[in-house]
């Protein structure tokens, strides 16, 4: 996969470290006390995304051992911890309103459902009843940064910052803690979101005559996933009751980022504004040197 184009000094800085141009310490990110600004800060979110993506195979032109270098690990740690602090501040009021101050591990399901009531559902009503095929495609693209284009250029080049933030939240909350309270909380909330949205999305696809996911590709229904992950949450908190707050903050983060992404998409569609950024040349420019990575399709002279 090709390195994306930097969107500011933070993303340019980590690209420089990955390419061996700079080995300096990561600069101070925006203040964690301003989480609302961080959600829409494409430079910060892209820098964090790059640091996390190095864990899953890295990028073309980057040495395989770079993810293990102290400079890269330092960037990843600083950016991840900063985003975690921002998420905690962002979700404090939602967790408090959901009974988080007196949360009981035995009632974690009630707390999670209370958090879901604050979720944004207007987008899925729009998807079900009014969205065009192009708008549904934009929704799917914005919510999935795992997809790769034919030229191996990631869609992170085009999605809005809030979509990158939602993906980063999932990665950071589970980073090195696949069985942690934060991972369990985020996964359970994501399952609840799917439970609320999948049927409406399916009805929207049916209205437009578009195919939905083939049944054989669905290994677990949304209901089954929610039930399974709720059980995981209960079992985890039964063994670790002191982690209840961590679990609820992680669940609230999933709900909050979903709501912000939904609001962004609706705003773009109602204002006839583009959701995705235009395709940009894949040129990596960093302080101290230039390095250009050209997509395979361009090298072959294909459009």
pLDDT digits (tens, 9 = 90+) for 64-73: 777 677 778 8
- pLDDT 10s digits, 244-270: 888 999 999 998 998 888 889 999 998
Entry pTM: 0.81
Confidence at residue 121, expressed as pLDDT on a 0 to 100 scale:
65
Length of the chain: 303
| Beta pairing class for 289-292 and 283-286 | antiparallel
Confidence at residue 103, expressed as pLDDT on a 0 to 100 scale:
67
Q: Show the beta-strand stretches assigned E in 96-210.
A: none
Q: How confident is the model at residue 2 (pLDDT cuts 50, 70, 90)?
A: confident
CA angle 266, 270, 276 (to 5 degrees): 60
- pLDDT 10s digits, 225-248: 888 998 988 888 888 888 888 899
Confidence at residue 39, expressed as pLDDT on a 0 to 100 scale:
92
CA dist 159 and 24 (Å) reads 29
pLDDT at 302 over 70: no
The Cβ-side half-sphere exposure at 270, using a 13 Å CA radius, reads 10
Tokens standing for residue 290: 């230039």
CA dist 178 and 193 (Å) reads 20
Q: For the packed helices 161-174 and 181-207, what is the interaxial angle rounded to 10 degrees?
A: 140
Partners of 290 in the β-ladder: 285
Contact (Cβ atoms closer than 8 angstroms) between residue 248 and residue 104: no
CA dist 80 and 169 (Å) reads 9
> What is the mean pLDDT of the segment spanning 165-192?
83
Query: Looking up tokens 């002191």, which residue turns up?
Result: 242
> What is the mean pLDDT of the segment spanning 269-290?
64
Work out the mean pLDDT of the chain and round it to a whole number.
78
User: Torsion angle, CA of 154/141/226/123, rounded to 10 degrees?
Assistant: 150
């Amino acid at each position: 996969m090709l390195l994306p184009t930097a969107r500011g000094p933070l993303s340019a800085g980590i690209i420089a470290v990955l390419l061996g141009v700079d080995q300096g310490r990561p600069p101070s990110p925006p203040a964690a006390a301003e989480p609302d600004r961080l959600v829409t800060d494409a430079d910060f979110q892209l820098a964090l995304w790059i640091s996390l993506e190095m864990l899953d195979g890295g990028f073309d032109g980057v040495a395989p051992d770079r993810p293990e270098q102290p400079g890269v690990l330092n960037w990843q740690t600083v950016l991840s911890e900063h985003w975690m602090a921002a998420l905690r501040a962002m979700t404090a009021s939602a967790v408090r309103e959901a009974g988080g101050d007196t949360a009981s591990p035995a009632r974690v399901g009630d707390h999670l459902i209370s958090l879901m009531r604050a979720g944004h559902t207007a987008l899925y009503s729009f998807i079900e009843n009014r969205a065009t095929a192009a708008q549904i495609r934009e929704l799917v693209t914005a919510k999935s940064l795992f997809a790769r284009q034919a030229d191996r250029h990631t869609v992170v080049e085009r999605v809005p910052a809030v979509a990158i933030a939602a993906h980063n939240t999932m990665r950071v909350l589970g980073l090195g803690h696949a069985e942690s309270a934060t991972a369990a909380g985020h996964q359970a909330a994501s399952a609840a979101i799917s439970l609320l949205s999948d049927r409406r999305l399916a009805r929207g696809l049916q209205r437009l005559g578009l195919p939905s996911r083939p049944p054989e590709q669905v290994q677990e229904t949304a209901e089954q996933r929610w039930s399974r992950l709720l059980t995981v949450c209960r079992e985890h908190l039964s063994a670790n009751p002191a982690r209840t707050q961590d679990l609820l903050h992680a669940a609230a983060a999933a709900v909050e980022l979903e709501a912000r992404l939904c609001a962004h998409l609706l705003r773009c569609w109602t204002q006839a504004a583009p959701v995705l950024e235009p395709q940009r040349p894949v040129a990596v420019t960093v302080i101290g040197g230039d390095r250009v990575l050209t997509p395979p399709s361009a090298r072959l002279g294909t459009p």
